[in-house]
Amino acid sequence: MKRFVVLLTVVMMIAAIFVGCGPAKPAKPNIGITIYKFDDNFMSIVRNNIDKLAKDQGDKLDYSIQDGQGDQAKQNDLIDQFLTKGAKSLALNMVEPASASVVIGKAQAKKVPIVFFNREPDAAEMAKYANAYYVGAKAQQSGTYEGELVAEYWKATPTADKNKDGKLQYVMLLGDPANTDAKYRTEFSIKAVEAAGIKVDKLAEDTAMWQTGEAQNKMQAWLSKFGDKIEVVFANNDAMSIGAINALKAAGYFKGNKYMPVVGVDAIPEALDAIEQGTLLGTVLNDAKRQGKATFDLAWTLAQGKPAATDVAPLADAANNANPAGKYIWVPYVKVTKENYKSFK
């Protein structure tokens, strides 16, 4: 028995040597992906789409998706780790897009391409690195669509002007000011209302940082201050439109003829439900599926050392892709109301 154990040990050692000396497997392309904060409704949908597409590559790809936790210093550490581990491309949803220059410097030193997505760095920074790309949607367009939804409602609804002063009194829930989406949605939604010939009167605006809970608190405070002086609620995204609706429901709205029009952006599943229930007037589809796909496809193409232009150009929406160099992929927004919400479920 003892001899057998010795023999077996020797055989195993020899086998181990052979395995160790076998032909080295070629390293798989490795992609480092990070999201500004996992705790974000819309970005969770984008993240799951990217994750699924990456998984579909099976053995061909190594990848890692990490949480920036809303902290740029932490996210920089993650990016350093990706680069140390030999990432062949990076897909980055920046906590602070203004910090893109630091990240670009790091990646450029190692010749690693970057696909930024959803939180857009400055064009000047983007221009500094030929291998920096951006996948996103034109926030101006989403703002315009939100404003148009409100203008259509206002014109079709004689009772919308509750105090009959000929002006639209509104409150505005803002997203994270570090994200230009927040700035443009605020600006362009109101511009579209005014372009339709409607006079506006801003009662209040404040940031709820894209979040339901914060939006609910802000809306509750505005309701106790202004009550029915508020004629329309604009939210820069649906996590916040849902927060506003929660506060409105608690204050007795959406029963009998107590109504308040609320508009948002994203068309997350909760928002589509709210349209169905009649609590959300409308929203704007922020296409998480196409943005996730465009981000992954581009990062994967680049990780394999292929040129972006050939593989990725067909993905870009020709009419929306204003950048001839192909550094930007713009995914279009779509207006969503009770007329068409079912097709987005």
**70 neighbors 93 (Cβ within 8 angstroms):** no
The DSSP code sequence of 119-156 is SPPPHHHHHH-TTEEEEE--HHHHHHHHHHHHHHHHHH
Cα dist. 120→93, 96, 100, 124, 249 in Å?
8, 9, 9, 11, 35
Q: Per rule CB under 6 A, is residue 34 in the interface with ligand BGC?
A: no
- State which of positions 240-279 bind ligand BGC (CB under 6 A): 265-266
Q: Which does 161 bind (CB under 5 to 8 A by kind): Ca ion, ligand BGC, none?
A: Ca ion
Query: How far apart (Å, rounded) are the C-alpha atoms in residues 171 and 62?
Result: 46
Among 116, 134, 145, 210, binds ligand BGC (CB under 6 A): 210
> How near is the Cβ of 163 to Ca ion at its closest, in Å?
5
Quick note: the x/- pattern for Ca ion over 102-141, rule CB under 5 A, is ----------------------------------------
Residue 19: what residue type?
Answer: V
Query: How far apart (Å, rounded) are the C-alpha atoms in residues 94 and 330?
Result: 17
**139 neighbors 157 (Cβ within 8 angstroms):** no
Closer residue to ligand BGC in complex, CB, 96/266:
266
Among 165, 228, 276, 339, binds Ca ion (CB under 5 A): 165
Binding region for ligand BGC (CB under 6 A) out of 5-13, 38-46, 251-259, 309-317: 38-46
Q: Within its chain, how far is the Cα of 294 from the centroid?
A: 13
Q: Per rule CB under 6 A, is residue 301 in the interface with ligand BGC?
A: no
Residue 170 pairs with which residues in a beta bridge?
Answer: 202, 232
Among 34, 76, 179, 186, binds ligand BGC (CB under 6 A): 179
Q: Which does 330 bind (CB under 5 to 8 A by kind): ligand BGC, Ca ion, none?
A: none
Count of residues engaged in binding ligand BGC, rule: CB under 6 A: 14
DSSP annotation of 29 reads P
Both structure tokens of 278? 């009649």
> How near is the Cβ of 35 to ligand BGC at its closest, in Å?
9
> How near is the Cβ of 158 to Ca ion at its closest, in Å?
12
Q: Per rule CB under 6 A, is residue 181 in the interface with ligand BGC?
A: yes
Among 9, 84, 163, 304, binds Ca ion (CB under 5 A): 163
Cβ neighbors of 113 (< 8 A, separation 6 or more) are 89, 90, 107, 131, 132, 133, 299, 302, 303, 308
- Phi and psi at residue 323, in whole multiples of 5°? -95, 110
Q: Per rule CB under 5 A, is residue 203 in the interface with Ca ion?
A: no
Query: How far apart (Å, rounded) are the C-alpha atoms in residues 135 and 311?
Result: 15
Q: Per rule CB under 6 A, is residue 287 in the interface with ligand BGC?
A: no
Q: Which does 62 bind (CB under 5 to 8 A by kind): Ca ion, ligand BGC, none?
A: none
**Positions that interact with ligand BGC (CB under 6 A):** 36, 40, 42-43, 118-119, 179, 181, 210, 237, 239, 265-266, 286
**Positions that interact with Ca ion (CB under 5 A):** 161, 163, 165, 167, 169
